[in-house]
Chains A and B, each alone.
Chain A
Amino acid sequence: MDDIAGRVLGHLGLALKSDESRVLRLLLDIALETLPAAEASLLVAAPGGRELVFAMTQGGAKANRKLIGQRVPLGSGITGLAAVSREVQAGVPTFTPSKKGAVKRAGKAPSAVIAAPMLVDDELVGVLTAVRFPPSGTFQTRELRVFGQFAAVAAVVVEQRRAIRGLEVLGGAKPLAAVTEREAAEQELATVVAELVAKSGGRTDRVVRALKAFGQAFE
């Protein structure tokens, strides 16, 4: 499974065990805490731009790791719609009669789905999704905006990796010193998280809790 995840993340220019991949995973965790939601995933836009591929899943059962590598056509379902419209989308998932049976046999069907595009300039690089299960309700407008901000932060992580790669290429084969890279990453992250707190709309307690969890995970 790690091989597949590594290959998919490679489309973003990220290595599976890199700091950036860890930050993306932590972002999914914080998003789960903040919304709250039961499971969250990161899908990467496949080369060619017609499909999304599951690259990471957080929360939920281990069985969810089976999603890694699965493909979602652009425009299909709420996740595909977020990719096409380049807007956060939310709703109640609908299943065809054949899939409905399979979902029922597998256990609980999600009661709500939310999906937010990750955009670097105009380019769609991926989509973040999260789901809730009954008895949790659907996602509200404020949650759409908060989740959209997480996707924007995730896109910054990818953008930053690309910028560093560009600088490495400019400077020849010699990579930047690791400490400089880390400092830059931390600075960027601090800025975007501060913005997140500022925009949390009176629910800063959750963001603070989530940030503490973020800090503990780093330790």
Chain B
Amino acid sequence: VRKPIERLAASSFVELARQKLSPVVVAVLDSGVNAKHPALSGRVRSQWVVEDTPRGPRVRRLRRLADNDVSGHGTCVAGMVAQTAPNAEIVDVRVLDVHALGSARTLLAGFRWAVLHGVRVVNLSLACKAEYAAELHDICEMAYERNALVVAARRNMPLVDDGFPAQLSSCVSVDAGRFGTNHEVAYAPRGRIEFVGNGVDVTTPSAKGGTQVCTGTSFATPQVAGLCALLAGARPDLRPFEVKTLLKRMGRDAAPPPK
């Protein structure tokens, strides 16, 4: 008999992070990760690069752990996951080329690849335009069916839309707020973006070594991805909607947006 989801052996994320949890694979689709950074030592499971070739995108594995970050963004993102969830095993999927330029084609290929390869949590600290919504929707549905959680960032600058796939209801969508801790989350009862993570003045590993202070939904998203990894580590049988339910239950209500 399956235990009810309420019967987690912890009432808070802080408590949960202190427990022995099952390892959870978190894919970071970004600019790459500096796996040699001390803060990520032993935390990066594998590294991959999505290359745009004339025959279509190709996913290539790096033979040994390396500094795979072409812009510094991905290392900060992976650092947030690692800080939040001690049980997270990071799979670095670089979707930008060596000039730090990317295309929707490589992103979609990397996203599909991650879902098809059994990743439990996919972190997308990026937002695509609405023209890719249909393709992203298909991959998110596939992720849902395979019990993979897609955690996606709201645009920092939501002029036209909140960004895709964050706008899709099959995702855990994240906005940025200030909590001062990585073990809190807020639920937003209205709007398309359901959760607010810790993304203001957060200290993350810098790709060049040391740490740096950043602000934005890019950093709130991996924090929430880390919380999802904690929940999935405590109860590997949780379905995506159950993880969302627990995030809401264990979080607080987000402050209403200013009028």
Q: How far is the CA of A140 from the CA of B216 in the complex (A)?
A: 8
Question: Cα distance A76–B71 when bound, in Å?
Answer: 6
Contact B215 A87 (CB under 8 A): no
Give every chain A residue within 8 A of B157 (Cβ-Cβ): 87-88, 116, 144-145, 148-149, 151-152
Which of B10-18, B43-51, B60-68, B95-103 contacts its partner? B95-103
Chain B residues lying within 8 Å of A88, measured Cβ to Cβ, are 156-157, 216
A151 to chain B: which residues have CB within 8 Å?
A: 157
A59 partner residues in chain B, CB cutoff 8 A: none
Interface set, chain B 103-132, CB cutoff 8 A to A: 126-127
Whether B31 contacts A84 by the Cβ 8 Å rule is yes
Asked whether A81 and B177 contact (CB < 8 A) given A144-B156, A148-B157, A201-B258, the answer is: no
A90-B215 in contact given A81-B72, A96-B208 (Cβ < 8 Å): yes
What's the minimum C-beta distance from B34 to chain A, rounded to whole angstroms?
Answer: 13
Other-chain contact of B208, A94, A141, A149 (Cβ < 8 Å): A94
Cβ–Cβ contact A85 & B73, under 8 A: yes
B residues 19-44 in Cβ contact with A at 8 Å:
31
**Is A211 positioned at the interface, with any CB of B under 8 Å from its CB?**
no
User: Interface-forming stretch among B1-9, B138-146, B199-207, B234-242?
Assistant: B199-207
Do B100 and A91 have beta carbons less than 8 Å apart? no
Contact check, A74 vs B210: say whether CB atoms are below 8 A apart. no
* B258-A138 in contact (CB<8A): no
Instruction: Name A130-155 residues within 8 Å CB distance of B.
Output: 138-142, 144-145, 148-149, 151-152
Chain B interface size, under 10 / 10 to 19 / 20 to 34 / 35 or more:
35 or more
Give chain B residues whose Cβ lies under 8 Å from the Cβ of A141: 156, 175-178, 199-200, 215-216
Contact of B213 with A87 in the complex, beta carbons under 8 Å: no
Binary interface encoding of chain A residues 65-87 relative to chain B, with 1 for a CB under 8 A from any of its CBs, else 0: 00000000011100011001101
Q: Are A80's CB and B212's CB within 8 A?
A: no
Provided the pairs A87-B127, A141-B199 are in contact, do residues A148 and B156 lie with their beta carbons within 8 angstroms?
yes
A197 touches B (CB below 8 Å): no
Q: Is A49 an interface residue (CB 8 A)?
A: yes
Give every chain A residue within 8 A of B201 (Cβ-Cβ).
92, 138
- Say yes or no: B158 contacts A75, CB within 8 Å: no
Q: Chain A residues in contact with chain B, CB under 8 A?
A: 49-50, 74-76, 80-81, 84-85, 87-92, 94, 96, 116, 138-142, 144-145, 148-149, 151-152, 201-202
Chain B residues near A (Cβ < 8 Å): 31, 70-73, 96, 99-101, 126-127, 155-159, 175-178, 199-201, 206, 208, 210, 212-216, 218, 257-259
Those 7 A-B pairs whose CB atoms lie nearest each other, nearest first: A148-B157, A75-B100, A75-B71, A92-B213, A91-B214, A201-B258, A88-B156
A75-B99, A138-B201, A148-B159 known, 19 other contacts, Cβ within 8 Å = A49-B101, A74-B71, A75-B31, A75-B70, A75-B71, A85-B71, A85-B126, A85-B218, A87-B156, A87-B216, A90-B214, A90-B216, A91-B214, A138-B213, A140-B215, A141-B216, A142-B258, A144-B156, A152-B157
Complex A-B: 9 CB contacts under 8 Å: A74-B100, A75-B31, A75-B99, A88-B157, A94-B210, A94-B212, A138-B215, A149-B157, A152-B159
